[in-house]
Amino acid sequence: MTTATQRGGKVLKDVGDTLRSGLRSGDFPARIGGDEFAVLLPDTDFDAARKFSPRLVETLEKQDEEE
């Protein structure tokens, strides 16, 4: 039997894995609390970051649908 805590831990791990797999080597994903994440994108201008954000959301939504 899987508890809610175990399930939540798996979800957080999966989100972290998804973040890392979609980032460049110099980018830095971080869990900042609870279920909140931030991604530092060094050497990225505002326009590039704006284009990155929707792609990241789409990737995470696809991950959610697959589970």
Residue 67 pLDDT more than 70?
no
| Long-range CB pairs of 62-65, under 8 A, 24+ apart, other chains included | 63/14, 63/15, 63/18
Q: What is the model's pLDDT at position 1?
A: 59
Nearest-Å Rg of the Cα atoms of the chain is 13
Residue 65 pLDDT more than 80?
no
Which tens digits make up the pLDDT trace of 13-42?
888 888 888 888 999 988 898 888 889 999
- Cα 37 versus chain centre, distance: 7
